[in-house]
Amino acid sequence: MTAFVVVTKPFLPLVKAQAKSRGVEPKLIVVGHPIGGLNETELQERITEGIEGFLSEFARVREEGNRG
């Protein structure tokens, strides 16, 4: 089963460090920070980033599956 982690840009180094210490390679969806306290337009931008990130990671996972 494949899981995706949504992370905001400032927390990316922390997520990568935690993943490395646990010996995993997470599928990351990186969006701008913050995601809370935004107006409708700003939130829509984050949603769009998330969708684009998901589609990119999903395509990568699918390609890896086709090779394996």
Q: Is residue 53 pLDDT above 90, yes or no?
A: yes
Give the structural domain span for 8. Answer: 4-67
d(CA 38, CA 32): 11
* Whole-number Cα distances in Å, 38 to 32, 42, 43, 50: 11, 6, 6, 15
Alpha-carbon dihedral sign for residues 51, 52, 54, 55:
positive
Count of the separate structural domains present in the chain: 1
User: What's the pTM?
Assistant: 0.84
- For the chain, strand residue ranges (E) read 4-8, 27-31
pLDDT of residue 67: 82
d(CA 46, CA 33): 8
pLDDT of residue 50: 97
Phi and psi for 34 in degrees, rounded to 5? -90, 175
Q: Is residue 68 pLDDT above 80, yes or no?
A: no
pLDDT of residue 66: 84
